Structure 1
C-alpha cells in the first residue's frame, strides 16, 4: 500500500473514530443521573410551578426523545454551534473558548516545548553515562519531580518567588495594575504578560521534564548496543554525532507517540495549575464549568471534550505519518 492509500485509509478511520467519540460524548452527559434543570433551579433557589417547569424543559429541548437530541447534538457539534453556557452570564460557548484558548496555547505550548527539548537532550546524555553519579543524580531528581504533586510545586513557586521575593505576580494572565494603568507600549505589554507566565510555566516544566528524561533514557538504552552503533564507533565518528544523529533517531518512535499525545491534549490546559495561579485558560474554564455555576455547565463541557478529542485524533494521525519518515523500515499498510 502506498502513502496516498494509507492516508486515505487513515482519514476514513479517523472520521469513524470522530463519530464514535461524538456518540460517547453525548451518552456521557445524556445518561448522567438527576435532572440538570432541577439542579440549576435548586441552586439558584428559583421557585416555579409545574407548568412553568415544563415550559422551561420545552424551551431547552429537554423533553425531546433521546434519538432526536442525538441528531440535533451531531448537527451542533459538526457545525461548531455549541450554544450558550451557564457561566459568564450565558455567553456563547465558542466565544468563551476562543477567549481562553490563546492563553492556554501560550502556557502549555511553552512549557511542553521546553520540557520536551530539555528532557530528550538530558535523557540522551544520561543514557550515555549509565551507572555514573550523573546518571544516578538525574534519575533520582527526575523521579522526585515527576512524583511530587504539581500543586505542591506551584505552592512553592508562589511562596518563594511571589510572596517572599516578590519577583513575579501571584497569578493572573496579566498584572492587576493594568486595571488602573494599562500598558502604553508593546515592550511593557510583553514584559507584563511574560512575568505572569514565568511561575506557571516553571511549575509545568518541573513537573513534566522528569518524565521526558526517564522516557528518552529508556529508549536510548534499548538501542545503544545495536550493531550499527558499534559500526559507527569503529568508523571513528564523534560520540555526539553517534548519539544525536544515529541512536536518538532510531530510538525516537516512542518519543514521537508521547509528543503527539502531549500536543493533542495541549488545549485541555492544566486544570490544577491554571486554578492555582488563577490563569484564565482552558483548564480554568473546565473547572468553572464543573464548579463555577449553579449547576455543571454541560454545553461548555461537551464542547471542550469534543475539541480535545479532535486534537488527539489529529495528533495521532500526524504521528502515524511521521513514523515512516523517521524510520524507513516501517511500511504503510
Structure 2
C-alpha cells in the first residue's frame, strides 16, 4: 500500500509542475502589453511602468519564473492590484464560505443520491426508480441559477423560511451558518444528486448480476445485508470517484451560486478578479483550485485501496 501511495504522489508532481508553468505564463498570454491591459486605456505612462515593475515584467522570463516559483512555494502570492491586500490574505478571508458550502452540498447530495441509486437499482421497475431517473434528467437539464431563483422565490420570498442573500460566518454560530446556506447548497446539489444517483444505480446494477450475489440470495441472506455488505462495497469505486471529483469541482465551480446569493467566497472572488484583471489573484486561485483537484484525486486513489483490496495487490 505504501508503494501505491508513493506512486500516486510522484505522479502528481508533473501535473502540478505543468499547472504552475501555465499559471505563470498566464500573464504572458495576454494579447499586447500586459501592463497596458491591466492599467486600462486612461492610464498614464508612469502608471503603466509602475505596474510593469510591480509584476517584474521588465525582467527576463526565466528569472521571473524562478522568482515567482520561489514565492509560490513559500505561500507568497503577491498583492492584489485592485485593493493592495496580500493575495493569501484575500484567499483566507474568502475560503470559509466556499468550503462550508461545498461540504454542505456534497453531504446533501451523497445522503440523498446514494440511497436513491441503490433502491432504484434493486427495484429497477419500481416507482422509486422511475422517479429517480426522471429527477436525474431534470437535474441535468436545469441550470443552477434557474434552480436557485426558484428556491429563492418559493422559500425565501414566498414562505420566508430562509434569507434571500446573506452569509453568517462560523464565528457567529454553526446553526446560523447552516441556515444561511440551505438554499444555495440545495440549488447546487440538484446536479450532483442526479449525477451520483445515476452512477450509483449503474454500478449497483452491474454488481447485482455477479454470481456471488445470487449465491448470497440462495443462502437466504437478508436483502439489506446483501446490499450493504456485498453490493454497495463492490460498487463503491465509481461512486467514490464521482463524489471526489464533485467535491473538487464545487470549490472552484460555485461562481454562479455565490453571485446569486451574495456569498463572499472564492467563486465570487474569482469572477471579480477576472473582471478587474487582477492577475495575481487569478493566478493564485487557479493554482489553488488545481492543487485541490490533485489532492482530492490522491485521496480518492487511497480510498480505492480501502474499499477494494484487489487494487492493493
- Name the TM-score, length of structure 1 as normaliser: 0.87
Residue 21 (str. 1) matches residue 19 (str. 2): yes
Distance 1:249 1:56, change over 3 A: closer
Note if contact 1:123-1:213 (Cα within 8 Å) is conserved in structure 2: yes
Aligned ranges 1:28-107 → 2 under 5 Å: 28-42=26-40, 45-46=42-43, 48-49=44-45, 53-87=48-82, 89-107=83-101
1:170 to 127, 140, 164: 164
In the alignment, structure 2 segments of 5+ residues that lack a partner are: none
Report the CA distance shift for 1:319/1:60 in structure 2 as closer, same or farther (over 3 A): closer
Q: 1:55 to 1:107 in 2, by over 3 A?
A: closer
Counterparts of residues 245-264 of structure 1 (less than 5 Å) = 245-264=229-248
1:207 maps to 2:185: no
User: Which of the pair has the greater relative contact order for Cα pairs under 8 Å at 6+ separation?
Assistant: 1
Residues 1:145 and 2:152 are matched in the alignment: no
Match of 2:228 in 1: 244
Does residue 235 of structure 1 match 2:219? yes
Report what 1:303 is aligned to. 284
Show CA shifts across 1:217-262 (max 9, x none): 0111111110010011011111111112111111111112112222
CA distance in 2, matches of 1:232, 1:111: 35
* 1:34–1:173 distance in 2 versus 1, CA, 3 Å: farther
Matching residue of 2:116: 122
Equivalent-residue separation in structure 2 for 1:29 and 1:59 (angstroms): 13
2: distance between equivalents of 1:265 and 1:137? 26
Q: Equivalent residue for 1:180?
A: none
Q: CA deviation at 1:52?
A: 5.9
Look up the match of 1:178.
Answer: none
Query: How far apart are the structure 2 equivalents of 1:204 and 1:254?
Result: 21
Q: Is the 8 A contact 1:265 1:311 kept in 2?
A: no
Is 1:265 matched with 2:252? Answer: no
Q: Which residue of 1 aligns with 2:297?
A: 316
Unpaired runs of at least 5, structure 1 = 176-185
After the TM superposition, which segments of 4 or more aligned residues of structure 1 sit over 3 Å from their partners?
51-56, 188-192
Per-residue CA distance 1:265-309 (angstroms, 9 max, x = gap): 343250110011111111111111112x3xx11111111111111
Provide the secondary structure at the position in 2 that maps to 1:329. helix
Q: Larger deviation: 4-13 or 215-224?
A: 4-13
Aligned residues: 312
